[in-house]
Amino acid sequence: MILPLFLPLAWALSVNGEFGAFFQLGSISNVSRYYWNYVYCNIWEGECQPRQDDSSVQVPTEDAWSMFSEDYMQLLSDWYCSLGQCCETGDCRIINNITGLEKDLEQKLHGQHLAQAVVVRAIRGFLKNPSPEKALTLSFHGWSGTGKNFVSRMISDNLYRDGMKSHCVRLFISPFHFPHAKLVDVYQGQLKDWISGTVQHCPQALFIFDEAEKLHPGLIDTIKPYMDHYQDLDGVSYRRAIFIFLSNIGGAAINEVTLDFWHSGQNREDVDMEDLEPRLRTEALQSQGGFSQSQLLTGNLIDFFVPFLPLEYRHVKLCARDAFRSRGVSYSEEILDEVARGMLYVPKEEKLFSAQGCKSVPQRINFFLP
């Protein structure tokens, strides 16, 4: 399978004097695409047409890419990396840019001093360790719109070249991927295949479980062994993988603690893990659903609890500012105030926290665009 495909590659590139250019290309996806187009259009004589912006480049008329399995793409990527041309990490798909992660958390995430600190510490420590004892497991807690998804995206963008699209990253949204309780047996099989398949191809894989509070207990049982202290399971080691669970479990407790701080005139930035963790655990144990009932939270499989505090008016303004900036549109302080005023604030008396956090802020600014 490999040779017949690589030989024409070497031939095509050397014959055409493209070998040098080939190695200068920074990214494997460009290389693969280039190579694939070349082989498809010139050697296999598939149906091709000139690309619009550059008529000297032929591109396949259909998405010929999809003919190739992920395994094959993997081989191509491994082969390219084995030439030592691409990446420090030895795997082109992995960039592990901790500086970038730190910077993103500092500049783009608002009002989350705990999440910012815990996430960097957890990920940096884990990646530094050449032989971790178990997979890294983070559990993000908080209301919707407080940044849980946003931070998991930052992690994937800074650890993987292709971010969420990377073959190393898998996002599971409980109600979407596992909607029917009676199909749990089927989902268990699928989940096993997804997890083991991904890790076999990419030991430093990232699995994100969104709306984890809705995960069926049977699915948690399926995931558990991968996060445990086993040397390997069926010959595959999962110890370099990262699991992130996003849930609203504990959201009420986090909000109460933050509100208490505000009432007593203390700084929100002084809320620390000791203030939160006991309340978080209590609430988690009392809440319904597979995730909280499982021993995940009570056992020691979760390495870090990451609380996301409820966002205030000033944070919503910062989100609005970022949204305007990312669109390259100018804005005024009044407009930011107007966007922030448009959100609903709770609790009834204090009206301190945005009920939706920063969710929908990027859509809301549409009303203010010129």
Q: Is the separation of the CB atoms in 335 and 295 below 8 Å?
A: no
Q: Residue 96 has which token pair?
A: 């592990």
In the complex with ligand NAG, the residue whose CB is nearer, 27 or 188, is 27
What's the 3-state SS for 64-102? HHHHCCHHHHHHHHHHHHHCCCCCCCCCCCECCCHHHHH
Give the CB-nearest residue to ligand NAG: 100
Work out how close the CB of 107 gets to ligand NAG at its nearest, in angstroms, rounded to a whole number. Answer: 9
Query: Nearer to ligand NAG by C-beta: 100 or 218?
Result: 100
Question: Smallest distance, Å, CB 149 to ligand NAG?
Answer: 19
Q: How far apart, in Å, do the first and last CA atoms of the chain sit?
A: 55
Tell me the HSE value of 2 on the side-chain side, using a 13 A CA sphere. 9
If the CB atoms of residues 86 and 220 are measured against ligand NAG, the closer one turns out to be 86
| CA atoms of 218 and 282, how far apart (whole Å) | 23
Instruction: Work out how close the CB of 190 gets to ligand NAG at its nearest, in angstroms, rounded to a whole number.
Output: 33
Report, in Å, the least distance between residue 101 CB and ligand NAG: 8
Rank residues 95 and 343 by Cβ distance to ligand NAG and give the closer one. 95
Q: CB-wise, 84 or 235, nearer to ligand NAG?
A: 84
Pick between residue 104 and residue 211 the one whose CB is nearest to ligand NAG: 104
C-alpha–C-alpha distance, residues 254 and 353, integer Å? 12
* Nearest distance from C-beta of residue 102 to ligand NAG, angstroms: 9
Residue 271 makes CB contacts below 8 A (sequence gap 6+) with: 113, 114, 257, 258, 261, 309
Q: What are the residues facing 209 on neighbouring strands?
A: 172, 245
Q: List residues binding ligand NAG (CB under 6 A).
A: 25-27, 30, 95, 97, 99-100, 103
Least separation in angstroms between CB 314 and ligand NAG = 25
Tokens of 269: 């930035």
CA separation (Å) from 6 to 12, 41, 93, 101, 141? 10, 16, 20, 36, 47
224, burial (CB in 10 Å: exposed 0-12, middle 13-18, buried 19+)? middle
Closer residue to ligand NAG, CB minimum distance, 97 or 190: 97
- Please, what is the minimum distance in Å from the beta carbon of residue 19 to ligand NAG? 15
Query: DSSP of 116-152, one letter per residue?
Result: HHHHHHHHHHHHH-SS-SS-EEEEEE--TTSSHHHHH
* Residue in 339, 349, 345 with CA at minimum distance from that of residue 357: 345
Q: Which is nearer to ligand NAG, 86 or 227 (CB)?
A: 86
* Shortest reach from residue 75's CB to ligand NAG, in Å: 21
